[in-house]
Structure 1
């Protein structure tokens, strides 16, 4: 006596495959359900790595638009140098002065005294100011890098950003003349023109105006290379000549 209802699964499978073949289905796509109405995306070729997805860049936060607000931000906890944990040395002098001076970074003793350009370099700087009839109180002095790096050198990877911040600082102070002390400051502010900046009065443009720039040697360099003091004096004379233009 046979058993009714028993189906040969092999026969059923062959029959199902034959039917799919007849209707044109000859490729197994996926075991998981697929939304055939979804828009197709291009797939990488076989053996080709998928293209990386670029992360969305955060929108740049605009810098403060007034000198007072910028100084509060620049010398606060959001400054690039604040993460170093080193003392920050503020700008000094008269922000309304027609002459602004930029040094590269605080000297070794500046952090203890809370002022820029101290020690032997500072004393030579004071004599340079006196030679052109100025004092620290009559000019505006700021540093490209507001904290002293542990390497005693401004990090090259930060020069461009620090230059952008310094230029914004200059734009808000709007001095008639700008004196750059040292190659690092000149390179950050003048870029490719840094090498040609010495020995001539040149303009630097920023949003809202223009200042005349003189690039010279840093007092620290002059202490080690006294022979170039004559060239530095020529730069200062050029700066004095710019006052009367």
Structure 2
């Protein structure tokens, strides 16, 4: 009793070769010696004869009026247009003297359609009331109009969103700008809120980096903590209160009811 030794080796070999060919193997050996440990550069596809070089997609200029910009911000050309979820527009009064920039909508905002909902929104409303304001008297806008799945702005899109946020502020031209959280602070001031807070920052809305000219519009920006952060670290509310006092141009007072 044993294995059947009557094997057609030619047929078996041909069958094996056919299997490897179907698997994508078309060369068994190479005539020249090869260093199998050397790095291999990916092969570059040769251009087809007569084929035109691939065109680089150009980014259209941002709308130069606030009404057109707000419509574009929710339209198919916005960076977040293909993301899941619904974009949320800026809210409040763009003709007022205070603009508030946040990073992105909260989870609850997607259902309500209102920026700063839930517990974060309730604290935000108390912060506004502490300086004699409400939502109707300020202009509230997000850097990112649609909440990312990960709940944070990815580095790959941050530069583009920062450019859009700066353009948004330029169109509104507020007298005072409140930057709540790191993303708005990085977009307008180039640094995190913890480093930027504690002083007024002049922003030349003409887009020029040199000293403002006679016809340039300059807004005063204040960086502070996002209410989301204050809910996690209530001890920081005292510092946030100082920032709010600076925003409205009154001397710091101890204590607040936020």
Per the normalisation by structure 2, the TM-score is 0.70
Over the aligned positions, Cα root-mean-square deviation in angstroms equals: 2.3
Q: Is the 8 A contact 2:230 2:237 kept in 1?
A: yes
Work out whether 1:64 is the aligned partner of 2:35: no
Q: 1:28-47 alignment to 2 at 5 Å?
A: none
Q: Is 1:226 the equivalent of 2:225?
A: no
Provide the C-alpha distance between the structure 2 equivalents of 1:217 and 1:113, rounded to a whole number of angstroms.
Answer: 23
1:211 equivalent to 2:210? Answer no
Query: 1 CA distance for matches of 2:107 and 2:240?
Result: 23
Q: Deviations over 1:212-244 (max 9, x none)?
A: 1000000000000001100000000111117xx
Give the aligned partner of residue 116 of structure 1.
115
Equivalent-residue separation in structure 2 for 1:204 and 1:60 (angstroms):
25
3-state SS, counterpart of residue 109 of structure 1: helix
Q: CA deviation at 1:209?
A: 2.3
Matches within 5 A, 1:1-245: 57-192=56-191, 196-207=195-206, 209-241=217-249
Q: What is the Cα deviation at residue 183 of structure 1? A: 1.2
Q: Kindly tell me: are residues 56 and 77 of structure 1, through their superposed partners in 2, closer, same or farther at Cα, counting changes over 3 Å?
A: closer
- Deviation per residue, 1:50-108 (Å, 9 max, x gap): 9x999664444211110001111011121101111211111100011110001110001
Report how many residues are paired: 194
Distance 1:232 1:86 in 2: 31
What is the CA distance between 1:200 and its match in structure 2? 0.3
The answer (yes or no) to whether the contact 2:182–2:191 under 8 Å persists in 1 is: no
Gaps of 5+ in 2: 1-42, 48-52, 207-215, 251-258
Aligned to 2:9: none
Structure 1 gap ranges (5+): 1-48
Report the 3-state secondary structure (helix = DSSP H, G, I; strand = E; otherwise coil) of the residue aligned with 1:180: strand
